[in-house]
Amino acid sequence: MIKEFNNIKVDKVGIEDRINRITKRSLKRESKLKGLEMILSMIDLTTLEGMDTVKKVEQLCYKATHLHNQFPNLPSVAAVCVYPNMVRIASNSLKESDVLVASVATAFPSGNATLQIKINDTKEAIENGANEVDMVISRGKFHSGEYNYVFDEIAAIKDVCGENSRLKVILETGELGDYDHIRMASEIAINAGADFIKTSTGKISPAATLPITLVMLEAIKDHYYSTGKMVGMKPAGGISNAKLALQYLILVKETLGNLWLDKHWFRFGASSLANDVLMQIAKQKTGFYQSNNYFSKD
Amino acid sequence: MSERIKVLKTYKIFIDGKFPRTESGRYYQLKSKDIPYANVCLSSKKDLRNAVVAARKAFLPWAEKTAYNRSQILYRIAEMLESRKTQFIDELTIQGFSKKDASKELDQSIDRIIYFAGWADKINQVFGAVNPVASSHYNFTLFEPMGVIGVLSSDESPLLGLVSSIIPVIVSGNSCVVIASEKYPLSSISFAEVISNSDVPSGVINILTGTKKELASPISSHMDINALGLFSQKIDKQIFINATENLKRISSFNDIQIYSDDFDSPYIIKKFMESKTTWHPVEVDFTKTNNY
């Protein structure tokens, strides 16, 4: 199976050309508004800082559930994404809402720890109430050619997650090198049992980009055609404005189709995107360009 | 040898220290005796939006510069303008000004920049105050810039009107988005070239050409613009209604005021500043008969 992974070649020029065309598309007002609402429902509101405090996480959870106070009937965000030690705080704060709790695990963001530590990290996150786990792959092992190790590790973490907790596998594409590697890592993750594949930790630049996302979406598509199984996608890091997020939606629709246009299969990992989307929705509804001053900062 | 073809300048707009064309691709033509002499960008509200984003980004770093440094930078604008005087006079004569009027317009503009540049590090000494209060507080008032100012520039005064609507606004640390004179837009874009050569940080001054009819409404309703300076006479009532949405303060001036020497006044600067009063508790030692 691993041999097969080695032979994948991505058409770099073709990928970039498709992105070029997608970014020049214009959207009608009504589709834009629907798109913006969809983006809002797909956001994993994220805080992953060394300086996160209990209050910061509580504030973020409050924001997740009160984002749309100004405009009722807007969807809430999909999830709040925090470090494992903050999971209990987040799950308590979000008890009465339908916002999920996602936790990064497996020695995020470097992923440099033994398998046993990673398994415990994941277990603890789930026991504390995480609905979803965002793991990082071992990039060092990947670059050393130990693809089996990477595969087995993902499979082991998925075992811990079981059926009830969905597993997002962070490839950290900024550290993987070219598209061929990204495609290969995507396939390893998908075949090892990932429910979602995710671009980045947000700690490395470049984080998510449109071409990288397209490469990963193509891997999901091929997997779907050959097995009939759907896998989710989560670009994360660097998506801070609504215009760019809309381009991601177009990309998903044109690559995977309407089935994936749902928070169950597509997510944005972002901290400031939600504010910009709200500002754009307010602009569409009132006709006035908006100011950051009137939207919560955290 | 064939006759040389004259190279005409493309007049583009000024956003974030760069000279882009309007995103709309539209333009209007200026003619003198039916002969076209320039194409000018007809900016759209998306250009305005981009300009406000740039102005917002530029505001804090500009406000946080020392007043003395802002003063130096404004003085530099005057120096640059002085060195390009003939170019501006030529441009004004193409637009129908007499040489004498054009020259006077230039002199007044340069002097006005110098005048306001000097106020940067003096405004708080004049208007700031220590206020006597009845409690044991040290109470003082300071003047601070307001943020992003939307400016509708004078229609009739191509350069002095422009200078008078930009310099007093930015001297205190505000950034601005200016809609230039529709009738005489050339000087405003040439002035933008002066600005971009004068150490003024990108985004502090943004200049759009186009119609006030189209741009006044989005500039007055934009929630990220903190105040409006109306130096134009073509003001629709709707602007005042729009401005209430986020309580923009509006200051209006007419061309007579602009051409008058009375415009050289720190009170113009004060119109684009906000006062902040602080109550600072002080310990009073009641065991002493007096505290001196």
Give me the pLDDT at residue A285, please: 86
Give me the pLDDT at residue A14, please: 94
Question: Which regions in chain A score pLDDT beneath 70?
Answer: 1-6, 298
Q: A179-210, pLDDT tens digit by residue?
A: 999 999 999 999 999 999 999 999 998 999 99
Set of chain A residues whose Cβ sits within 8 Å of the Cβ of B221: 287-289
**Residue A167 bridge partners (DSSP):** A133
> Which residue in A44, A63, A121, A134 is the catalytic one?
A134
CA-closest candidate to residue A212, choices A236, A188, A242, A228? A236
Query: Quick check: bond before A109 cis, omega within 30?
Result: yes
Tracing tokens 């070219």 back to the chain, one arrives at A178
DSSP letter (8 states) at residue B251: E
CB-nearest partner of A290 from B48, B224, B242: B224
CA B63 to the chain's CA centroid: 14
CA-closest candidate to residue B94, choices B164, B161, B36, B155? B36
Set of chain A residues whose Cβ sits within 8 Å of the Cβ of B23: none
Q: For A289, which residue in chain B has the nearest alpha carbon?
A: B222
Give me the pLDDT at residue B8, please: 83
Chain-chain contact of B223 with A291 (C-beta, under 8 angstroms): yes
Substitution target in A280, A289, A295 with the highest count of B β-carbons within 10 Å is: A289
Total tally of structural domains belonging to chain A: 1
Question: Up-side HSE of residue B65: CA atoms within 13 Å toward CB?
Answer: 24
Chain-chain contact of B245 with A288 (C-beta, under 8 angstroms): yes
List chain B domain ranges: 27-278
Set of chain B residues whose Cβ sits within 8 Å of the Cβ of A287: 221
Residue A234 designated active-site: yes
Set of chain A residues whose Cβ sits within 8 Å of the Cβ of B52: 289
Chain-chain contact of A288 with B224 (C-beta, under 8 angstroms): no
- Contacts of residue A248, defined as CB under 8 A and 6 or more positions apart, other chains included, come to A210, A213, A235, A239, A268
Q: For A282, which residue in chain B has the nearest alpha carbon?
A: B223
Give me the pLDDT at residue A24, please: 87
DSSP string, B158-176: SSHHHHHHHHHHHTTT-EE
DSSP string, chain A: -HHHHHT----HHHHHHHHHHHTT----HHHHHHHHHHHHHTEEEE---TT--HHHHHHHHHHHHHTTTTSTTPPPPSEEEE-GGGHHHHHHHTTTSS-EEEEEESSTTT--S-HHHHHHHHHHHHHTT-SEEEEE--HHHHHTT-HHHHHHHHHHHHHHHTTTSEEEEE--GGGT-SHHHHHHHHHHHHHTT-SEEE---SSSSS---HHHHHHHHHHHHHHHHHH----EEE-BSS--SHHHHHHHHHHHHHHH-GGG-STTTB-EEESSHHHHHHHHHHHHHHSSPP-GGGS---
Substitution target in A291, A292, A294 with the highest count of B β-carbons within 10 Å is: A291
Q: For A279, which residue in chain B has the nearest alpha carbon?
A: B223
Q: A132-141, pLDDT tens digit by residue?
A: 999 999 999 9
For residues B151 and B218, the answer to whether their CB atoms sit within 8 Å is no
Give me the pLDDT at residue B31, please: 86
Substitution target in B23, B220, B223 with the highest count of A β-carbons within 10 Å is: B223
CA-closest candidate to residue A1, choices A189, A143, A215, A188? A188
Residue A28 designated active-site: no
Edge-to-edge order in the sheet of strand B273-281: B129-131, B137-145, B273-281
Burial of residue B274 (number of CB atoms within 10 Å: 0-12, 13-18, 19+):
middle
Question: CATH no. for residue A251?
Answer: 3.20.20.70
Give me the pLDDT at residue B288, please: 67
Chain-chain contact of B224 with A292 (C-beta, under 8 angstroms): yes
CB-nearest partner of B222 from A289, A292, A294: A289
Give me the pLDDT at residue B286, please: 65
Q: Does B52 touch chain A (CB under 8 A)?
A: yes
Q: Which of residues 223-252 of B touch A (CB under 8 A)?
A: 223-224, 242, 245-246
In the CATH hierarchy, which top-level class contains the domain B27-278? Answer: alpha beta
Give me the pLDDT at residue A198, please: 96
Give me the pLDDT at residue B290, please: 62
Query: Quick check: bond before B266 cis, omega within 30?
Result: no
Tracing tokens 């050289």 back to the chain, one arrives at B264
Chain-chain contact of A288 with B221 (C-beta, under 8 angstroms): yes
Give me the pLDDT at residue A193, please: 94
Set of chain B residues whose Cβ sits within 8 Å of the Cβ of A293: 223-224
Question: Which regions in chain B score pLDDT beneath 70?
Answer: 284-292
Q: For A290, which residue in chain B has the nearest alpha carbon?
A: B223
Chain-chain contact of A289 with B218 (C-beta, under 8 angstroms): yes
Q: A99-125, pLDDT tens digit by residue?
A: 999 999 999 999 999 999 999 999 999
Give me the pLDDT at residue B292, please: 53
- Contacts of residue B27, defined as CB under 8 A and 6 or more positions apart, other chains included, come to B39, B40, B41, B42
* Chain A / chain B CB contacts < 8 angstroms: 27
Q: Does B150 touch chain A (CB under 8 A)?
A: no
Give me the pLDDT at residue A293, please: 85
Domain with A182, as residue range(s), is: 2-294
Q: Which of residues 232-291 of A touch B (CB under 8 A)?
A: 287-291
Residue A180 designated active-site: no
The alpha-carbon gap from A295 to the nearest alpha carbon of chain B, in Å, equals 11
Set of chain B residues whose Cβ sits within 8 Å of the Cβ of A292: 56, 224
